[in-house]
Each structure stands twice: as C-alpha cells, then as structure tokens.
Amino acid sequence: MHIPTVSAEFTKTWMEQALQSHLNGAEITRIIAAPFDNPGQTADIVTIQVEYSRDTRLPTKFIAKIAAQDESTMENVVKPLDLYFKEYSFYHEAIEGIKYPNCYYSDFDPDTQHLVLLLEDISHLDSPSWRPSLQQVDTAIEKLAVFHARWWNDESLKTKPWLTAQSDPALMGMYIDLAYQAIPIVDDLMDEDCGYTHKLIRAFFENKAAALNYIESRPYTFVHGDYHPKQMFFGKPGSMEDFVMIDWQLPLRGPGANDLARIIVLAMDTETRRNQEPRLMQKYMNLLHENGVNGYTMNDLLEDYRTGILTSTAIHYFAAATDVQRFINEVSALGLDWQDLANYRLRRALQDHDGHELIKIWEAWT
C-alpha cells in the first residue's frame, strides 16, 4: 500500500485497505481527513473521521502519524536518530507495563523515511501539554515506576534491535555530537547566560567514550526517552481511564532516571520542582521496591538522575537546530516562558544536583 504523506492521501479506498482485517463485513461510507491543528515536533498529524455502513467496534475517529514535512526536522533529527523505525517497531511488539494508543495499521519505508501509524483517537482524555497539574505529575510517576520495574535489568531488552542502549556509541554518540554542534544556536536563542550547560555539553562531547562506558555500567530498564507532559493523556475525573503515553520514537535500554528526570524537571517551575522533587523521587523508589526491584538505593537514583537531567539537556540542544517556532508558539500560548522550558529549568536542576561532578566521574572512567 502507498504510505500517505499528506492528509488528502487518506482516501476512503486507502482506509478500507488499511482496516480490512478489522471491518468484518462493514463498509466505510465516508471519511474526512484533515491536518491536526497542533502538529507534532518530529512528525505530522492527521485527524480522520470515519462513517461505517453498520455498527462496528472500530473507532469513528483516528489519529494518523506521518512523516514530517519540515526538511530540517527530517535531516537533523528524524533520519540521524532513526526515530520512525523505532516507533514503527515499538507498535509491532506487545510491550507490557504501560498504556499506549491502539495501532490499527502501520507501515514504514526506510528508503524514503515515509511512515504511517493509524492510531486510536484519545482526544477525549485530558492532554495538559506543558502545564500539568501536580496530581497529573504524581500519576505519571506512579505509572512510570511500575513500567520500569516490569523491565528492570530484563535481559530480553538486549534482543530487540530497535531498542538501542543509551550507551551505544552510534546513537548516544550522535546525540552528544549534535548537542555539541548546537551550542552556538542555543547561545543565540537564549537571553540568559548558558555557560554552565555549555560547559557540561562540551565535557560530555570531550569525554564521550568514558561517559558512555559509565552509563553502560548502570542498572537499566525500558526507557521511553522523552517522558514529558505533552506526551501524556489523563482520564477525566471520575472516569475509569487513567493514563495513556504517546510518542514512542526514542525508546532506549538505559537508566530509568532518564524518564524520571525529564518529567520532574520539565513539568514544574523551578520553585515547585525543588519543593516536590524529594517526595516524588521517594515515591518512585518506593514503587520500584514494591514491584520487585531490589538493591537499588536512593544514592543510586540520585546518581542516575543527574545523568538524566544532562541527557534531557542534550536533547534540547540538538532540538534547537530544528524548527523551534512550533515549540515557541505552543508554550507561549500556554502563558509559559519558552526559554525556561527549553533551557533554564534544566540548567537550574543541573546546578542543584552538582551536574559538574559528572566530569570527575567521566574522567575516572577514562
């Protein structure tokens, strides 16, 4: 089947072919496909409304994820990190431990990088974007801890070719290289001095092999890789639904604190984060232990958490080389400071957790 690249290519004929194994005799009588009002950062989104000839268990609304039209996003992020292959592969396996949207059809062409994921529409759930409530952050951490515990040091994760180790020189080495190259871009974008994070990104680059060896030595689990509130959907108060996680483009085998640091640091302003961080980290630890993880201490978590903050910082550095205007518009519309979310929250968290000590650790691993 042809892989759609724009909303107009989601025709009635295409949808019937994509859903043929699910239709069970029903026919599609009408579809309406249109670009989503709020496009994704690394892919384009199409909303599809479907009418059937009779009652069916199929949804009447779908979300289709297709390749980004923005060339800089494709060349600087999607292709180097192989994001579409990873997400396509994720939906072909039954990954236990966390909820994600049902996928009714998927296809991917590695030569053209064309992708389609035909997903259930979950817009009836609450999507807080970059302004989650504290209760939503708590829920996200509860779900994260159970998910991480399910896959803690699970050897089967090493058999999944699409689930790259965070310590992999080809993948993480590329993260670090792209982040290092983006230092001048970040400098131009930010009003406040970024010298502290620049220094750490440079040190990450200069001590790359040692840093990756250090990460490889840490306990690992299934890491979402981009665990922030814009990727999360929450059930309405009083409903039976609770939490769904989207965007599985950056899955990794690595320390779970990568995900924990990303949700805690980015979901709250710095003052709130400083007040809530000890409680939330302890909550995560308690749930790990309750779900069978042994021998992992709070000192271990703090050590991995610091690396997790730096990893998030590196993600934001190389993202600066893409079309950041979407991010600026979205965050500004929420009444938030986009520079704070893009850099300052991460910088303050690194300073609070003595991020510069990582340089000594890497030097010891050289």
Q: How confident is the model at residue 39 (pLDDT cuts 50, 70, 90)?
A: low
Q: Does 173 have pLDDT greater than 90?
A: no
Type of residue found at 193: D
Among candidate residues 14, 17, 8, the one with its CA nearest the CA of residue 44: 8
The predicted model gives 44-67 an average pLDDT of 94
Torsion of CA 251, 253, 256, 262, to 10 degrees: -30
**Residue 268, domain member (yes or no):** yes
For residues 162 and 277, state if they share a domain: yes
**Residue 234, domain member (yes or no):** yes
Give the per-residue pLDDT at 37.
77
Q: How far apart are CA 68 and CA 156, in angstroms?
A: 32
C-alpha triplet 237, 239, 245: angle, nearest 5°: 85
pLDDT tens digits along 336-365: 999 999 999 999 999 999 999 999 999 988
For residues 295 and 164, state if they share a domain: yes
**At 316, which CATH number?**
3.90.1200
Q: Domain containing 99: what range?
A: 7-120
For residues 73 and 114, state if they share a domain: yes
Q: How confident is the model at residue 366 (pLDDT cuts 50, 70, 90)?
A: low
User: In the 3-class helix/strand/coil scheme, how is 48-110 assigned residue by residue?
Assistant: EEEEECCCCCCCCEEEEEECCCCHHHHHHHHHHHCHHHHHHHHCCCCCCCCCCCCEEEEEEEC
pTM above 0.85, yes or no: yes
**Residue 1, domain member (yes or no):** no
**At 34, which CATH number?**
3.30.200.20
Give the per-residue pLDDT at 76.
80
pLDDT tens digits along 211-259: 999 999 999 999 999 999 999 999 977 666 789 999 999 899 999 999 9
Q: What are phi and psi of 314, to 5 degrees?
A: -60, -40
Among candidate residues 346, 228, 196, 284, the one with its CA nearest the CA of residue 276: 284
| DSSP structure class, residue 163 | S
**Residue 176, domain member (yes or no):** yes
For residues 94 and 193, state if they share a domain: no
For residues 169 and 40, state if they share a domain: no
**Residue 30, domain member (yes or no):** yes
For residues 222 and 339, state if they share a domain: yes
Helix axes 298-319, 345-352, angle to 10 degrees: 150
Mean pLDDT of the chain: 94
For residues 215 and 250, state if they share a domain: yes
For residues 296 and 148, state if they share a domain: yes
Residue 264 near residue 280 (C-beta atoms within 8 A): yes
For residues 145 and 271, state if they share a domain: yes
**What are the CA-CA distances from residue 248 to residues 59, 95, 100, 333, 340 (Å)?**
22, 11, 9, 25, 25
pLDDT tens digits along 306-326: 999 999 999 999 889 877 888
